[in-house]
Amino acid sequence: MSISRITLASALLVPSLLPGADHKLKAAPETTIWGYFSAASKPVLTVKSGDTVEIQSPWGNPELLSQAGVPPAQIQPELRLIAEKIKDRGPGPHNLTGPVAIEGAQPGDVLEVRIKDVRLDVTYGWNRFAPTGGFLPEDFPEPGVKIIPLDRKRRVGRFAPGIEIPLRPFFGTMGVAPPPSAGKISSLPPGLHGGNLDNKHLVAGTTLFLPVYTTGALFSCGDGHAAQGNGEVDITGLETSLTGVFEFVVRHDMHLKVPRAETPTHYIVMGLDPDLTAAAKMAVRESIDFLVQEKGLSRGDAYMLTSTAVDLEITQLVDGTRGVHAMIPKSLFKDVGPAR
């Protein structure tokens, strides 16, 4: 590990890495931005393209967790310290670990984020709704919160007697800095920079492709989810604290306007708009563009294949900007390798 590649105090980059990680970024007030993405943020870690980084990201309001019944000893000290020390807070609710700069990334490139591992850091998750958010605030005028024990060995959340939620942990928020002209933007709505995508398919083994808008890309992540349903209708999933391992690759040969993703079984294209119909149309157009550019179809054939074999799913309905993603099965094509 080259000292010239690290821009953070060495105490925060400890050597006990998960297998395959080149760097470790520990959550602390000095390594956290709260509620926003900005090209003016100073990177807390700088790495080379191809490097792998382990990133810790605790999540939750310590006071609310305590009031909901989480024992004090089970609330991470990093989370308490971040909540206590950080005063520079943007308009969004998320504490995000980062940003990480990737050498060589320039506006117009794509940052390929290979999600190598996602680890559950605590034995509980939480779900909360409030009358100021969610898809049905008129039906639920009083707030509600539920602590859900996580069985990390069996990979289930014990929601209630006889009800278990399969755990598929992922980061609800992963993104890069927006263009410098955008200034400081909220972490709440997703956008062309990624951010609060809340896409439940972005689990370990998936690759996320993000357009780059500023030098170094400036990647940050947080908003851990142990599980989530498509739609995330009450404004939270099964929220929890996570540690992720990410491999960052700068792609000079790719040019995207909207984030994309790739799982072992599907290509994922995305639509984002405050209007759900407009978001769906954007996802369909992105599917057509993908099939034309990557698979050589005519636009008419791409439209027909999207109608006959591609699934549109509502990513989330509650973050101001609605999300719709199209799942394109790799099994449709003989060349099932990555669309690189």
* Domains of the chain by start residue, with CATH: 3-251 (2.60.120.580), 264-332 (3.10.28.20)
Which residues of the chain are modeled with pLDDT < 70? 1-20, 335-340
Longest C-alpha distance within the chain, in Å? 59
Residue 268 CA to its chain's centroid (Å): 14
Confidence at residue 20, expressed as pLDDT on a 0 to 100 scale: 64
CB 316 within 8 A of CB 198: yes
At a CB cut-off of 8 Å and minimum separation 6, what does 300 contact?
A: none
Q: How far apart are CA 8 and CA 16, in angstroms?
A: 16
Query: Within 13 Å, how many C-alpha atoms sit on residue 101's CB side?
Result: 21
Spatial CA neighbour of 1 closest among 75, 72, 53: 53
Q: Which 8-state DSSP code applies to residue 181?
A: G
Confidence at residue 21, expressed as pLDDT on a 0 to 100 scale: 81
State the pTM of this model: 0.91
C-alpha angle 46-25-104 in degrees, rounded to nearest 5: 20
Confidence at residue 172, expressed as pLDDT on a 0 to 100 scale: 98
Confidence at residue 336, expressed as pLDDT on a 0 to 100 scale: 52
Confidence at residue 301, expressed as pLDDT on a 0 to 100 scale: 98
CB 193 within 8 A of CB 326: no
Structure confidence by residue, pLDDT tens digits, 3-36: 223 333 333 333 344 556 899 999 999 999 999 9
Q: Which 8-state DSSP code applies to residue 183?
A: -
